Structure 1
Amino acid sequence: MAEWIDISQPLNNQLAHWPGDQSFHYHTPLTKDMTGSVNIGRITTSTHVGTHVDAPFHFLENGKRILDLEIDRYIGPCTLIDLSAFDEINQRALESKNIDAAERLLIRTSLPNRPERFPKDVSPITPDGAAYMKSLGVQLVGVDTPSMDPITSKELAGHHALYQHDIYILENVMLDHVAEGDYELIALPLPLEEADGSLVRAVIKPIKGS
């Protein structure tokens, strides 16, 4: 029986974060010696560190929050492809994989999986790439980078194009150790009612015969 593969970035105090944003920090302010019974940990974090999803409110003032989103988008069959030979995730790059259809798409780029290092450059999703994903039936896309857009972008053309085509966003998945193919995906966000994003535990399992 195929086992689940963890494609999440480990959450620890060395995890890279967006410059100027809140880093992830875990500590244990209450120890078993102090309470007499249990250890109690505390987490301080941004909603956009590690493996996480974006809600439209992240880049739209009146966009949907995490708890407004369809939970079934984050569970189900997905196709993992390697586009590390391309500088952009555009229509030409996607066409190179000859995909007929895909509900969920995970994309490996040329960025090495190094959670402790924040990258200077990523391979962005272009508007024509987002439109082509829509033509394939894609409802969620996941990338192994912290953003769908260039790190310095303020326009966020990739985020907005994906939103216009009703494609959900999953970022910072770890794909270097996973082969191309078809998988089952689980990447559930926390039920954060007002949040613009959420950390997730993302796992995949090969689909039999793929």
Structure 2
Amino acid sequence: MTTEEFINLMTKEIKMYDLTQPLSVHTPPWPSYMPLGIQYFKRIAGADRGQGANGQIITSSNHVGTHMDGEIHFYGAGRAIGAVPLEEWVGPGVVVDISDEVGDYDLYTPEMLMKKADIRPGDILIINTGYHRYAWYEKEADEVRYMVKHPGPSPDFPDWALKMQFKWIGVDCGSADHPMNTILRNWHPKLFLEAEKKLKEKYGKSWDEMFPPEEFYQIMHLKLFPKGLVHAENLGGDIDKLSNKRVYVGAFNVKGIEMESAWTRIVAWAP
């Protein structure tokens, strides 16, 4: 392919999709994390003959809106966001839409995903649970449902993800872990009882029988990050337009040399 052919292909035959949430002071951080704060320290009109420009100071944790969890978020010997080569953030991938099969507290399995789309080893795996519709900026906004009730991976999912050697995983909800396998279980005891009741009705097991805490507490973070398999959380945007399609994906993180995680702009390209 010549340079001219490549430019023509990208200009006329390829469409770009934004899988990123809008970011605002109203965006809820992951519970207990610092939210986004923005203030002006100078304005165009200014004072004393004017300052000629708007300037802002931003304070925030890295876990607000669409963001990439880095290896050192949970693994001290891992790589910071800025130490990961750009090539590891881009590549072939697939957006798997399971929104019609999962609801509050449900589990998604490798089999559920594989029957929906063509998932290949080495892919970037994007999971559409449908819970982006409860994000802060949507008509059905529900912060508790979005953060505390979203579906999560089945017990065999982490090992499958490692076997598939995914570059990274993206989810359209508050965490790649099931919320009841995080500290949210303790912070929302009434909701945990709801989740356990549903699990018992469906699988005949208590939560701790299916997910022994010593093994499954934040397993998507604690087990996978040391293996270099990280994930992005709080995706949204055009995600519904790519249901069960193979795409080319890129995550463009701030190149922070000391950053444990970072805001990211996630983009997909498709014909």
TM-score, normalised by the number of residues in structure 1: 0.87
The answer as to 2:157 corresponding to 1:95 is: no
Code of the aligned partner of 2:118: I
Q: Is the 8 A contact 2:45 2:51 kept in 1?
A: yes
Higher helix share: 2
2:92 to 77, 81, 87: 77
Structure 1 residue 164 displacement after superposition:
5.2
- Verify: 1:147 aligned to 2:203, yes or no: no
2:161 is aligned with 1:133? yes
| More divergent stretch after superposition (31-40 vs 171-180) | 171-180
User: Separation in 1 of the partners of 2:117 and 2:219?
Assistant: 25
Spell out the pairing of 1:1-210 with structure 2 (5 A cutoff). Answer: 1-34=13-46, 35-84=50-99, 85-86=101-102, 87-97=106-116, 99=118, 101-102=120-121, 103-116=123-136, 117-118=142-143, 119=146, 120-152=148-180, 153-154=182-183, 155-163=217-225, 165-174=227-236, 175-206=239-270, 208=271
Change (3 A) 1:98 1:150: closer
Q: Which runs of 4+ in 1 moved over 4 A?
A: none
Tell me, which stretches of 5 or more residues in structure 2 are unaligned?
1-12, 137-141, 184-216
Query: Identity of counterpart residues, as a percentage?
Result: 22
Task: Say whether the 8 Å CA contact 1:113–1:176 is kept in structure 2.
Answer: no
Task: Tell me which moved more, 49-58 or 167-176.
Answer: 167-176
CA apart distance, 1:20: 2.1
| Structure 2: distance between partners of 1:75 and 1:203 | 9
Alignment check: 8 A CA contact 2:96 2:117 kept: no
TM-score, length-scaled by structure 2: 0.69
For the Cα contact (< 8 Å) 2:75–2:225, is it kept in 1? no
Please give the root-mean-square deviation of Cα atoms over the aligned residues, in Å: 2.2
1:112 is displaced (CA, Å) by 3.5
Instruction: Please give the alpha-carbon distance, in whole angstroms, between the structure 2 residues aligned to 1:89 and 1:70.
Output: 30
How far residue 11 of structure 1 moved from its aligned partner, in angstroms, is 1.0
**How far off is 1:113 after superposition?**
3.0
Q: Separation in 2 of the partners of 1:176 and 1:98?
A: 14
